[in-house]
Amino acid sequence: MIKPPYSVLALAVPALVIALQRRSLHPLWTTENVIGATLTVAYLIALAVFMQPFFTDVMPLLRQVYLPMRMPVIDVLMLWQVTMFVAMAVATLAMASPGRPDRDARTMLLAGAAYVPAFVIMGKGWTYQALPFLTLGVLALMLQYVRLKPLRSLPLPVKAGAALGLFSIVLLTALQQGMAFTQSRRDLDAATAAIVRAVAHPTMMSIASQLQFSNPLARMTGARFVARQQSGWMVNDAGILMGMEQDPARRQDLAALRERYTASIAGELASKRPDIIVDDGTSGPRAPVLLNLKNQQTMPPLHDAPGIAEVLRGYRILYQDRSVTVFIRADIAARE
């Protein structure tokens, strides 16, 4: 779940801080740091030698569509994931008062803080991208907790830190585990049941504006996902950015990107003819992050593009609700 580039700063920052404190380069040459640096260099070499399409295809797409679709830095810093980590860091430091925090706890905090810039640069606010620094924050708290003396002998700041740390862990656990009980799976379960009844182990592609449904549907139905792209997210996001963009040249570039990827997806649908096609539900596509989209013009959905609409003539709606639409190939539907 953790993207490799996220880990570079988390590995480097604690080592650099220790090296600065000791005024020596020796901490940089420990076994774990050498292994980490070697893996990082090997990763970059593998990208450069064996994965040229990352630079020719993926990077331009990320630069044009993915990275611009992000929240302002101030808004990201105010998200609960960041404030939760700050609270855990404050609690850890308070429990160490008036001395320094435990060395291992301090290392966890430094590594966790080094993950935050990547979270801010991505600007999405998605919890899975915050998982590394939240996990390290909890570890720092636990490491500092075990160093505490009997509670009655502790000064007030230490007791306050312990209380704040305990509250942070309980709140984080309640927020994350509570999602399993508060988020409805009704639409997903109903779509899964409809697919399983119609065809066993289907091939699947997605033209949805996001990938929230296609990935779990593929797993839950035993499907084989055959598309190069997880969904039509880049077409949807380019349309949103076109409505926000003031520069005519950039709008033209985004329009060209939409046309190029729409044609690519249509061609892949026509050639692979998957058993199942997943699309947005009746509520329609939405922005993947919180953006100011006042007076935003509604972009035509991907299924209305001529090439894709032509492919969908050979499909029938198997299931539809507000969240998801499931198409099944007409010849399979006829057999049922």
Where do the structural domains in the chain lie, given as residue ranges? Answer: 6-182, 186-335
Per-residue pLDDT, 296 = 61
Asked if 233 and 304 touch (Cβ cutoff 8 Å), the reply is: no
Per-residue pLDDT, 6 = 77
- How does strand 315-320 pair with strand 276-280? unpaired
Per-residue pLDDT, 151 = 67
Judge if pTM exceeds 0.75: yes
Element (H, E) at 276: strand 276-280
The yes-or-no verdict on residue 137 having pLDDT over 80 is yes
Per-residue pLDDT, 190 = 94
Q: Which residue has the higher pLDDT, 147 or 167?
A: 167
Start-to-end Cα distance in the chain: 39
- How does strand 276-280 pair with strand 203-206? parallel
Asked if 74 and 105 touch (Cβ cutoff 8 Å), the reply is: no
The yes-or-no verdict on residue 297 having pLDDT over 70 is no
The yes-or-no verdict on residue 81 having pLDDT over 80 is yes
The yes-or-no verdict on residue 1 having pLDDT over 60 is no
Alpha-carbon span 323 to 237, nearest angstrom: 18
Instruction: Please compute the mean of the pLDDT values over residues 224-229 and round it to a whole number.
Output: 93
Q: How do residues 35-79 score in pLDDT, each as one tens digit?
A: 988 988 898 899 899 999 989 988 999 899 988 888 889 999 999
Per-residue pLDDT, 184 = 80
Q: How do residues 87-131 score in pLDDT, each as one tens digit?
A: 999 999 999 888 888 899 999 999 999 999 999 988 999 888 899
Q: Which residue has the higher pLDDT, 287 or 207?
A: 207
